[in-house]
Amino acid sequence: MKVLLVWPQFPDTFWSFKHALKFVSKKAGEPPLGLLTVAAMLPCDWEKRLIDLNVRALQDRDILWADYVLISAMSVQQKSAGAVIEHCRKLNRKVVAGGPLFTSRHDEFEGVDHFVLNEAELTLPVFLSDVASSGGQPLYQSAEWADIATTPVPLWELIDLRDYAIMNIQYSRGCPFDCEFCDITYLYGRTPRTKTTPQILNEMECLYQLGWRGHVFFVDDNFIGNKSKLKKDLLPALIEWMERRGHPYTLSTEASINMADDRELMQLMFRAGFESVFIGIESPNPDSLLECKKTPNRDRDLLHSIHAIQQSGIQVHGGFILGFDQDPPSIFDTLISFIRDSGIVTAMVGILNVPRGSRLHQRLVQEGRLLKATSGNNTDFALNFVPRMNPDILLSGYNRVLSTIYSPREYYARILRFLRGYQPLKRKGAGIRFRDLAALSKSMVLLGLIGKERFYYWKVFFWSLFRRPRLFPMAITHAIYGFHFRKVFETPLRQNPVKQDTLVAG
């Protein structure tokens, strides 16, 4: 059997880092971990090829080579996924679809021969058995949760690691919390399930033997879902492996803000190589946090928690949401001030999205307030529900928040604020690589000479170089990220101008 695995294209979004990738001469941010893992579950004697449309285009000859085309996607990739399905249908090739997009919304897609949904560890073997005997059924689903201690090592050999800026690994699935707007518990459950420590070390070692040096992202939706197991088992083993291998990787992940309450956990994560963590802050408004059931964020000083994590040597990337029913007219100014005071440089601010499978989706359907399916783009100006706030005020206020926090003056001031308060412990690292020097050179030209942020760029450049030289690479990285964020928002900000009524309302 010949199988072509296809990863659809990402649009130009906040997390695509499309405009930052050219500084490091990479074609895509990270590889399709799900498809690489599925590839490892297919029979060994099957021929397998993988095409990442973020790296290269899909040709007719690629599709005609295959007996089956396997496609996986997230919601934000739905347009590209639909185009791939249509392309295959025109060439009369069978399509097998799975992953988060199709698990939530398979009824919206035509031209798919087999939907293999939920977790592949459970549904893929049944499909493969049917293919060998009867040709397969249209739909495969499971209401159970997989034991990911049996999940194989991703088949990284199917990609060229040099195309990507970072590599990714998954330790756990599921989240103990159940925020109303989130579909993670629908997709993966509330009880965190983990791989074993030997599994993770094996994956780290495989990447190392393939020559990877650089950043590794743990894609868990809440890495600290099982803190006890982390502290007693995985993190000590990671520390030992990293020290033995000379710290070839820097690590990052996603977690809930209650990690700030556990100093031992933060110290172990730092020693293991974690340099950053994405945290869903969501809102500085307590009533909005109560509304969306953001349990770990309530009844705490959010700024104090953020600073505690930063002071442990781990920088915080933050996610924020506007459009909750309880958001007051003052939320825009409040959020701008909060982001400024937090020192969070990478602040993703989006309008509330309502994904299918979330409890929010169920509530808004009952209230008759759902307008359409979500685009999956966390920074889209399009509303897929009817907000309590006047939509014009919400969209215009959103524009004002983005225009402020990602203006060169405000953004670079936030970089300086973060660097002044950031006191990471010293640890060994991989050292300076050629691509780092190339990125620095490109930033000096594109940002320092011809960019509209050039005055602020050189201010941060020389301040960090002479005052905090150890943090100089981080300062340049943030400058490059800022360039990407401004490019992403240029068109939508121009198309959705700030209106005077939001200035009064705010």
- CA dist 424 → 218, 262, 318, 411, 466 (Å): 21, 17, 19, 22, 17
- pLDDT at position 425, please? 66
Q: List the beta bridge partners of residue 217.
A: 168, 252
- pLDDT at position 433, please? 63
Q: Is the pLDDT of residue 429 over 60?
A: no
- pLDDT at position 495, please? 83
- pLDDT at position 422, please? 87
Q: Is the pLDDT of residue 379 over 60?
A: yes
The residue-averaged pLDDT of 352-373 equals: 96
The residue-averaged pLDDT of 179-195 equals: 95
Q: Give the tens place of pLDDT for each residue, 312-329.
A: 999 999 999 999 999 999
Q: Is the pLDDT of residue 501 over 60?
A: no
Q: What token pair was written down for 135?
A: 């040709």
Q: Is the pLDDT of residue 235 over 90?
A: yes
Q: What token pair was written down for 480?
A: 């490059």
- pLDDT at position 234, please? 98
- pLDDT at position 493, please? 87
Q: How confident is residue 427, by pLDDT bands cut at 50, 70 and 90?
A: low
Q: What token pair was written down for 187?
A: 């997709």
| Cβ-Cβ contacts under 8 Å for 408 (sequence gap 6 or more) | 452, 453, 455, 456, 482, 486
Q: List the beta bridge partners of residue 349.
A: 320
Residue 214 Rama label (left phi>0; alpha psi -120 to 50; beta)? left
Class of residue 488 by CB neighbours under 10 A (exposed 0-12, middle 13-18, buried 19+): buried
What is the separation of C-alpha 68 from the centre of its chain, rounded to a whole number of angstroms? 29
Residue 494 vs residue 309, higher pLDDT: 309
Q: Give the tens place of pLDDT for each residue, 50-96.
A: 999 999 999 999 999 999 999 999 999 999 999 999 999 999 999 99
Check: CB of residue 453 under 8 Å from CB of residue 407. Answer: no
Check: CB of residue 13 under 8 Å from CB of residue 76. Answer: yes
Across all residues in the chain, what is the average pLDDT?
A: 94
- The three-class DSSP label of residue 322 is strand
Q: How far apart are the first and last CA of the chain?
A: 61
Q: Give the tens place of pLDDT for each residue, 157-170.
A: 999 999 999 999 99
Q: How confident is residue 423, by pLDDT bands cut at 50, 70 and 90?
A: confident
The residue-averaged pLDDT of 129-148 equals: 95
Taking CA 466 as the corner, what is the angle to CA 462 and CA 470, rounded to the nearest 5 degrees?
Answer: 105
Q: Strands 249-254, 274-282: parallel, antiparallel or unpaired by DSSP?
A: parallel
Check: CB of residue 63 under 8 Å from CB of residue 87. Answer: yes
Residue 1 to residue 371: CA distance in whole angstroms = 43
What is the separation of C-alpha 276 from the centre of its chain, rounded to a whole number of angstroms? 13
Residue 200 to residue 210: CA distance in whole angstroms = 15
| Exposure class string for 272-281: b at 16+ Cβ within 10 A, else e | bbbbbbbbbb
Q: How confident is residue 503, by pLDDT bands cut at 50, 70 and 90?
A: very low
| Cβ-Cβ contacts under 8 Å for 254 (sequence gap 6 or more) | 218, 219, 220, 221, 222, 223, 277, 278, 279
Q: Is the pLDDT of residue 431 over 60?
A: no
| Exposure class string for 79-110: b at 16+ Cβ within 10 A, else e | ebbbebbebbbeeebbbbbbbbbbbbbbeebe
- For the chain, list the domains and their CATH numbers: 2-140 (3.40.50.280), 165-419 (3.20.20.70)
Check: CB of residue 335 under 8 Å from CB of residue 341. Answer: no
Q: What token pair was written down for 75?
A: 């919601």
- pLDDT at position 502, please? 44
Q: Is the pLDDT of residue 271 over 80?
A: yes
- CA dist 163 → 9, 71, 484 (Å): 15, 20, 19
Percentage of the chain beyond pLDDT 70 is 96
The residue-averaged pLDDT of 370-383 equals: 89
Q: How confident is residue 506, by pLDDT bands cut at 50, 70 and 90?
A: very low
The residue-averaged pLDDT of 30-50 equals: 98
Q: How confident is residue 426, by pLDDT bands cut at 50, 70 and 90?
A: low
